[in-house]
Amino acid sequence: MVKRFAELIGFHLNAVERLTVSETSLLDERKTSELREQFIAVLGHDLRNPLTSNRGGSKDAPGGTAQP
């Protein structure tokens, strides 16, 4: 009976550890997904407005001038 109780405790400890690992992995995936979505939004915006991006980049470049 003591052996079964020890096995049960071990099983639950293992389950808690697996749950913690799964939750951590899920949080990492959510963060990665959020960053990916932000990147795609910025990229999509820049692809729709390439002239604005080029003007801004040329204005920031050393010796560059932006034309209206």
The tokens describing 6, both together, are 């020890």
Cα 3 vs. chain centroid, distance in angstroms? 44
- What is the mean pLDDT of the segment spanning 13-41? 96
Give pLDDT, residue 61.
61
**Percentage above 90 pLDDT, the chain:** 57
Query: What is the distance between the alpha carbons of residues 37 and 58, in angstroms, rounded to a whole number?
Result: 27
Using the predicted structure, report yes or no on whether residue 56 has a pLDDT greater than 70: no
